[in-house]
Structure 1
Amino acid sequence: MNILRPAVTRVMTPLGRALARWGISPDVITTIGTLGVVASALVFYPLGHLFAGTLVITFFVLADLLDGVLARMTGKGSTWGAFLDSTLDRLGDSSIFSGLILYFVLKDEPEIVLAIVALFCLVAGALVSYAKARAEGLGMTANVGIAERGERLVVVLVAAGLSGLGVPYILAAGLWLLAAASSVTVVQRMVHVYRQAVVK
C-alpha cells in the first residue's frame, strides 16, 4: 500500500482539486468513505457477493487517500481530522471482517473455523493499530511489523475478491496468512516498545 500510495495520489490529485473548488472538506470525504465501506461490507459480503463487494469497498477505501490529498491542497489538515481519519479507519476495517464473519456463518453449510479466524484477524488488526497509538501516546514509536493496515487491507480484499471469482481456498489462505502476520506484528511492536522503555 505504501508503495502504491504515490501513484494513487497522482491519479487522485485532479479529483482533489475539483473537490477543493467545490468547497468539500477532507472530513466529509473521510466520513463518506467510511460509511461506504461499512455499508458495502455489511451488505455485499453476508449475501455472498464477494467480488462485487470487494470492488465497491475498494472504491470507498481510496477515499482514505483522497482525504489526505485534499487536506494538503486546501491546507485544512488538522489534529481533529487526523483523529477522525484514524478512528474511522478502525470502523471501516472492522466492518470488512464483520461482513466476512457473517458470510461464513450464514452460508448453507457454515464455516465456523474460518469465521473464528476472521474474528481473530479483526481483533489482531485492532491490536496492531492500538500498540502503535499507545506507544506514540507514551512518547515512543512502534513503526515496525510485517502487517501494517495497508498490507492487511490488500490481503483481505484481494483474497475476498478472488474468492468471489471462484478461486478455491484463496480466502481461507488469505485469512490464515493475515492472522499469522498480524500476530507477528503485535509481538514485533511489543518487543520494539519494550526495548525503548526497559532496555536502555
Structure 2
Amino acid sequence: MTLDSLRSKFVVVTEPFVNLFDGLHISANTVSIASLAFAALAGIAYYFSAGNPAILAAALLLVLLNGFFDGLDGAIARKNGTASKYGDFLDHVIDRYADVFMICGIFLGGYLRSDLGAMVIVGVLLASYLGTQAQAVGVGRVYGGIMGRADRMILIIVATCLQLVYPTEVGAYGIQFTILGWALLIIGVLSHVTAFQRIWYTRKQLLSGENGKKN
C-alpha cells in the first residue's frame, strides 16, 4: 500500500522547483530545516485549531508545505552533487521530529484522547526506527509495510480537509471521534502493523543470510 514507492512519479512536479532552488544556491539541508519549521508550525496550528476553521486551514497549508519541501531536499542534493550520509541522517531526524510535532499537535489539540494519541506516536516512531535498525544490522533500509510516511501524510491531509467540512464527531455503538481522530487511529494501528511487518522481513533476511553462510 505504501505511497513512498511512488515518490519518483512526482519528479515532473518537483523538478522545476529543484532547478529554482539550485539556481538560488539554496542547499538541501536548508530546505530540510524549512520543512521542519513548517511541521512545527503545523503542530502548533493543530493544537489551537479546535473550533477555529481558519487555524485548521492554516494547519492544512503548513502540512502541505512540509510534505512538499520534504520531497525537494534529496532531489536538490542529488542535482548539485552534495548528497551525503550526514544529509540522509539529518533528513531522517527531521522527519521524526516532524511526525511528533504534527501528530502530537492533533491529539493534544483535542481531536483524539491523549492515551490513544500516545499509542499512535509510539507506533509511528517504532515503525520508522525498525526501518533504520534493519539497515544498521546489514539488511538495508526497509521502507516496506502498509503505512509509510507518505501514507500518513495523505491521511492527515485528507482528514483535515474532511474535518473542515464536517467538524462533528462521527462513529457508531457509542464510539465517537472526530474525523482527524479516526485518521490518527488508523495511522496508529497500521503503523504497529508496519512495525511487525518490518520485524518479520528483517528476521527473514537475517536468518536466510545466516543459513546461506552455513551452507
Contact 2:4/2:143 (<8 A) preserved: no
CA distance in 2, matches of 1:81, 1:146: 26
The 1:27/1:40 distance shift into structure 2, 3 A limit, reads: same
> Which structure: larger Rg?
2
Number of aligned positions between the proteins: 192
Matched, 1:124 2:130: no
Q: Give the residue type in structure 2 aligned to 1:193.
A: T
Structure 1 range deviating more: 83-92 or 189-198: 189-198
User: Displacement of 1:3 after TM fit?
Assistant: 6.0
* Cα 1:187/1:4, change in 2 over 3 Å: closer
The corresponding residue for 1:78 is 84
Counterpart AA for 1:26: A
- The answer as to whether partners of 1:9 and 1:66 remain within 8 angstroms in 2 is no
Query: What is the aligned partner in structure 1 of residue 135 from structure 2?
Result: 136
Q: TM-score, normalised by structure 2?
A: 0.81
| Residue aligned with 2:163, SS | helix
Superposed CA deviations along residues 10-42 of structure 1, whole A, max 9, x for unmatched, are 122112112112211101101111112112222
Q: Is the 8 A contact 2:96 2:125 kept in 1?
A: yes
Aligned: 1:14 with 2:26: no
| RMSD of Structure 2 on Structure 1 (CA) | 2.0
> Match of 2:205?
196
Quote the offset at 1:166 in angstroms.
2.0
The corresponding residue for 1:148 is 148
The aligned residue for residue 75 of structure 2 is 69
The alpha carbon displacement at 1:127 in A equals: 0.3
Q: Partner of 1:166 in structure 2? A: 166
| Counterparts of 1:101 and 1:172, CA distance in 2 | 7
**Structure 1 range deviating more: 167-176 or 82-91:** 167-176
Instruction: Report percent identity of matched pairs.
Output: 26
Structure 1, unmatched stretches of 5+, are 105-110
